[in-house]
Structure 1
Amino acid sequence: MNKNQIRQVIVLSVISCVALFYIEQILEVSYVLKTSSKILLFLIVPVLFIKIVLKEKLMESLRLNQIDVKGLQLGIELGILSMIVVITAYVLLQNYIDAEGIILDLQERLNITLETYVFVALYITFGNSLLEEFYFRGFIFLKFYQSGYHWLGYIFSSALFAVYHVAIFATWFSFEIMLLALAGLFIVGFIFCWLNTKSNNFLNSWILHICADIAVVSIGFYLFWTL
């Protein structure tokens, strides 16, 4: 990508994340509508950008036409480690987390119940993680990285990934825990970016993201059952 296309991606991605925050926290639409909006902004729009503006074939642009299975081993190993870290962090910080508030927010704002949470958990683990990795690491970071804008790709992708999550848990945590979560997400985003330079596509970070989400949704099941 040239400098002008880099600027276009930056503006487009910021607008998309702001729009999702507005949809999530201001409009408070149903989970189905929120998910549909994310698919539009994180999948359809960037795919059109790649095809129309960059004039590239999707699979070749994302380096998915030639996959090195051995190159994905690191993603699997770090994925298992991430599950341990997430669960350990919850155990250590659970006294500082408003668990009842989280469940109430899911029930009232998104109409999620224990019964529907099963389907939501599956979507979060495999569908949502794919959207986020395609968008933040495939469409943003790797396109920047492959164009020679290495540090811009690392910093912008990781920062946007962290801030974007504010739309999800804006009412869940205290200010201190929120800052800690944002710092953690930035570091995680940085690691995800670095990990993908080993495979030159976003599959490694997707594997790691799936494993981390398995731990997160498992905690969610625990909260639904016990509260």
Structure 2
Amino acid sequence: MLLVVEQLIGASYIVKTGSKIILFLLIPLFYITFIMKKPLKEFLNVKGIDRKQLGISFSLGLLSIGIVLSAFFLFLPWIALDAILNDLMTRLEITPKGFLLVALYITFGNSLLEEFYFRGFLFLNFYRENRKVFAYLYSSILFSVYHVAIFALWFDFWLIVLALIGLWIIGMLFNWLNAKSDHFLNSWILHILADIGVMIIGFYLFGFF
């Protein structure tokens, strides 16, 4: 559904964001509340926060910034920067002036939607049912494939395949971080920091430095 919204119908960025809120947040919340009939606090396990695990997530997040930036400059000769910038400004309607707000939303808002859905709603739900292997594979594969809707026009075929494999590995790592804690705050912290690395690339593309 998001692939259709992102690539086929030419929806505005606001419509795409609204679609994610409905699919990644509102529908799962409805399912948790009225189908599973669980209090949200119980489902999210807000009491299971461990500072040591959060510290590990933060450290991995700082490392991820370096990995994201290093990978970008390593593969720079094979990345069509003009095509990406054109796609951002035409299809997604993101301008240099508005990029700061978009960057803040992606870093904190969009990362929360993705972590709540892929790790909180999918992974932890199946993991708690002792379907651990399925939980790891299913949520990670969906997390990886979902991103094709975003960057399908940015890279050639082999870079897309490489990106899918990388995102699958990242999804597995995110799941591992959350398995012991039984909540998705660990992966959200790492996701925020990884997105900061991506947003630095965005500022580079828009000529801020």
CA distance in 2, matches of 1:200, 1:113: 39
Which segments of structure 1 move beyond 3 Å, counting only runs of 4 or more? none
Task: Indicate the residue corresponding to 2:141 in structure 1.
Answer: 159
Aligned residues: 209
CA distance in 1, matches of 2:208, 2:182: 42
- Letter of the aligned partner of 1:67 in structure 2? I
Task: Indicate the residue corresponding to 1:217 in structure 2.
Answer: 199
Query: Deviation digits for residues 62-82 of structure 1, max 9, x if unmatched?
Result: 212442223311111110110
Q: How high is the TM-score relative to the length of structure 2?
A: 0.97
- Please identify, of 66-75 and 85-94, the stretch whose mean Cα deviation from structure 2 is larger: 66-75
Task: Indicate the residue corresponding to 1:187 in structure 2.
Answer: 169
Query: Deviation digits for residues 13-66 of structure 1, max 9, x if unmatched?
Result: xxxxxx111111111111011001100110000000000110001111121244
CA distance in 2, matches of 1:200, 1:186: 20
Task: Indicate the residue corresponding to 2:82 in structure 1.
Answer: 100
In the alignment, does 2:157 pair up with 1:172? no
Q: Which of 33, 47, 58 in structure 2 is aligned with 1:51?
A: 33
After superposition, the CA RMSD in angstroms is 1.2
Task: Indicate the residue corresponding to 2:96 in structure 1.
Answer: 114
Task: Indicate the residue corresponding to 1:5 in structure 2.
Answer: none
In the alignment, does 2:129 pair up with 1:147? yes
Q: Is the 8 A contact 1:42 1:132 kept in 2?
A: yes
Q: Is the 8 A contact 2:65 2:193 kept in 1?
A: yes
Q: Is the 8 A contact 1:162 1:189 kept in 2?
A: yes
Task: Indicate the residue corresponding to 1:132 in structure 2.
Answer: 114
In the alignment, does 2:178 pair up with 1:196? yes
CA distance in 2, matches of 1:226, 1:172: 21
Secondary structure in 1 matching 2:25: helix
CA distance in 1, matches of 2:179, 2:54: 11
Task: Indicate the residue corresponding to 2:67 in structure 1.
Answer: 85
Uncovered stretches (5+) of structure 2, i.e. residues with no partner: none
Secondary structure in 2 matching 1:173: coil
Q: Is the 8 A contact 2:58 2:190 kept in 1?
A: yes
Q: Percent identity?
A: 53
Q: How high is the TM-score relative to the length of structure 1?
A: 0.90
CA distance in 1, matches of 2:112, 2:47: 17
CA distance in 1, matches of 2:181, 2:10: 38
Alpha-carbon offset, residue 133 of structure 1 = 0.3
Task: Indicate the residue corresponding to 1:15 in structure 2.
Answer: none
Q: Is the 8 A contact 1:71 1:198 kept in 2?
A: no
CA distance in 1, matches of 2:13, 2:198: 18
